[in-house]
Chain A
Amino acid sequence: MTLPPEQPPDVIIKVVCRSLVPFIQLFGLYVVMHGHSSPGGGFQGGVILAASFVLLVLAEDRATLRHHIPPAALNASTSAGVLLFAGLGVVCLALGANYLDYGPLPFAEPRSIGMLVIEIGVGITVMAAMLSIFRDLLEF
Chain B
Amino acid sequence: MNVHQSAVPILVVLPPLVAAFLLPVVGWRFRSAVYPLTLAALAFSCAAAFAAAREVTLRGPLHYYLGGWEPPWGIEFRIDALGALMLLMLTVITLLVGIYSKRSVLQEIPAKEVPFYSVYLLLAAGLIGLVSTADMFNAYVFLEITSLTSYALVSIGSGAAVVSAFRYVILGTVGAAFYLLAVGYLYAASGTLNMADLAERLPPLYESPAVLVGFAFLVIGMSIKMALFPMHTWLPGAYSHAPSAVSALIAATTTKAAAYLLIRVMFFVFEPRFAIEIIPVTTVLGWMGALAMVLGSVMAIAQSDLKRMLAYSSVAQIGYIVLGIGLANPAGYTGALLHLVNHAFMKGGLFLVAGAILYRTGRRKIHEFRGLSGQMPVTTFVFTVCAFAMIGIPPTGGFFSKFYLMLGAIEAGNWVFVGVIVLSSLLALAYLANVLRYLYFPTDGNGAGSGAPDAAIPRRQYAPWTMLGPMVAITAGIVLLGLFNGEVVERFIEPALPAGLLGSGVAR
Contacts and interface: CB of A to CB of B under 8 A. Distances in A.
A130 interface: no
Q: Assign chain A's interface to a size class.
A: 20 to 34
Interface in A83-135: 83, 86-87, 89-90, 93, 97-103
A97 B25 contact: no
B18 A90 contact: yes
Contact of A100 (B28, B66, B118): B66
B24 A78 contact: yes
Contact of B18 (A72, A76, A78, A86): A86
Interface in B45-70: 64-68
A79 interface: yes
Contacts of B66: 98-100
Interface string A55-85: 0000000000000000011011011101100
Interface secondary structure of A, over-half rule:
helix
B17 A86 contact: yes
A79 B14 contact: no
Nearest to A85: B21
A80 B18 CA distance: 10
Contacts of B22: 79, 83
A76 B23 CA distance: 9
Given A86-B17, A87-B18, A75 B24 contact: yes
Contacts of A89: 14
Contact of A72 (B10, B28, B67): B28
Interface residues of B, number: 18
A86 B18 CA distance: 6
A133 to B, nearest CB: 14
Nearest to B114: A75
Contacts of A75: 24, 28
Contacts of B64: 98-99
Contact of A83 (B21, B28, B68): B21
B28 A98 contact: no
Most-contacted residue by chain B among A72, A78, A83, A90 (CB, 10 A)? A83
Nearest to B28: A76
Contacts of A78: 24
Given A75-B24, A99-B64, A101-B68, 20 more contacts: A78-B24, A79-B24, A79-B25, A80-B25, A82-B21, A83-B21, A83-B25, A86-B14, A86-B17, A86-B18, A90-B14, A93-B7, A93-B10, A93-B14, A97-B68, A98-B67, A98-B68, A99-B10, A99-B67, A100-B67
Interface of B: 7, 10, 14, 17-18, 20-25, 28, 64-68, 118
6 contacts: A79-B118, A86-B14, A87-B18, A90-B18, A98-B67, A100-B67
